[in-house]
Amino acid sequence: MRRVVPIGPYHPLQEEPEFFKLIVEGEKVVDLEINIGYNHRGHEYISPTLTWDQVPFLVERICGICSDSHPYAYVLAVEDCAHIEPPPRAKYIRTIIGELERIHSHYLWLGLAGHFIGYNTVWMWVWRYREPLLDLFELIMGNRNHYAINKIGGARRDIKPEDYPKIEKYLDMLEKKNAMFTKAILDDPVIRARLEGVGILKKEDAIAYAVTGPTARGSGYAIDVRKDDPYDAYDKVDWDIVVGKDGDVLAKAVVRLLECDESIKIVRQCLKNMPDGPIETRVDGIPPGEGIGHHEAPRGEVFHYVRSDGSNMPVRHKVRAPSFMNIASNVVAVKGYSIADATLVLAAVDPCYCCTERTMVAYEDGKEKYTGKDLLQLSWKKTERLRERYRK
């Protein structure tokens, strides 16, 4: 007997509105349907109405947690289009902020994961050590989130040499705490029992669903844009890709924690080798052409595409966020586990729905492939199909 457990769109589990339909047999989840679109604000539509320099502020507001990643990928795309080479100091600054953001994002996830399994101590504890990092952001860039460090042809703000010791001091503290968290999670029998062997995403499935970021690396698939196609200062520092083995939630948690260690390593090296000089180059318009940029966001690869016609605005701006692929893999990861585990498994990919929500219009022979009416027809047909399925 199949039953449906609806979760959402407003529910205490996750912060954003999204809708899951868990199809269950008894306690066991046999299928999952994901319905998103509650966060669609039309960024790709607004972007061509703004000038090149205004767009970073817009794409920053795609997502508040990885608010450095989207502008980062965007400026890389524009620099690719206009063949701009930012000065070395700007590259190092961007790398540092990108890595500090990874730490803050992974800690955020770890805290929420603790909350999801009813371990609020973990949540309070982890977020306590995330707080000084936000202070650092405020110190360097003037805002706790949405810091707007990326600018076409450089960085918007400099990291002052007198701030280096403050960053170093935080990293020293964090290194100890990160070791403590890693040990706490690996040693705690309750956390282990909740996370181990739950929500397994096999390597084949990870490849088939094209997942990225810690979700892929937790399944043993070593994919990382920072290593595969290094940009900015990532090829000038020494670090390793962290790869898990089992693909369960524990592996993903451990990958994220160990990645924080790697981030600390990268930031330290960047601070040590930081070159002097200007932080931005002069940009005289964007020539016609197209460019791509990708950045390893905390959740995986974020990809931006821009096309220019030589004017002061982009003609087309396409965004692909990592959660777009990662969320789809929930369908295989959640199957066969109980409803109680589903909470955690659905959150294990660190989903970010506001990143994900894009729409597209498919054209065929110069005509829209699906008009509004066609989509309605498709929707009705699907309802019919599902009705048949649940009648069984």
Partner 1 sequence: MGNLKLLGLKKSPWVFHLAAAACNNCDIEILDILTPRWDVERFGIVLVGSPRHADALLVTGVINRKTLPRVLRVYEQTPKPCLVIAVGSCACHPHIFESSYNVVGPYDKHIPVDVYIPGCPPKPEAIIMGVVKALKRL
Give the residues lining the site for partner 1 (CB under 8 A): 9-12, 15-17, 37-42, 45-46, 49, 57-58, 61-65, 67, 108, 111, 123-124, 127-128, 131, 143-146, 352, 354
Q: How far is the CB of 168 from partner 1 (least distance, A)?
A: 22
User: What residue ranges in the chain does DSSP mark as E strands?
Assistant: 3-7, 19-25, 28-35, 150-151, 154-155, 289-297, 300-308, 314-320, 363-364, 367-368
Q: How far is the CB of 179 from partner 1 (least distance, A)?
A: 20
> Which CB atom, from 269 or from 323, has the smaller least distance to partner 1?
323
> Which CB atom, from 12 or from 366, has the smaller least distance to partner 1?
12
Residue recorded with tokens 């960085």: 155
In DSSP terms, 305 is beta-bridged to: 292, 318
Distance (Å, rounded) from C-alpha 104 to C-alpha 131?
Answer: 9
Distance (Å, rounded) from C-alpha 147 to C-alpha 273?
Answer: 23
329, 209 contact by CB (below 8 A)? yes
Q: How far is the CB of 58 from partner 1 (least distance, A)?
A: 6
Output the CA–CA distances (angstroms, integers) from residue 329 to 141, 198, 308, in the order listed: 36, 14, 34
Q: How far is the CB of 355 from partner 1 (least distance, A)?
A: 9
Distance (Å, rounded) from C-alpha 212 to C-alpha 10?
Answer: 27
Q: How far is the CB of 16 from partner 1 (least distance, A)?
A: 6
Q: How far is the CB of 227 from partner 1 (least distance, A)?
A: 27
> Which CB atom, from 38 or from 292, has the smaller least distance to partner 1?
38
> Which CB atom, from 9 or from 197, has the smaller least distance to partner 1?
9
Measured at the CA of 224, the angle between CA 210 and CA 169, to 5 degrees, comes to: 135
Q: How far is the CB of 189 from partner 1 (least distance, A)?
A: 25
- Dihedral sign computed on CA atoms, order 270, 274, 275, 279: positive
Distance (Å, rounded) from C-alpha 101 to C-alpha 62?
Answer: 15
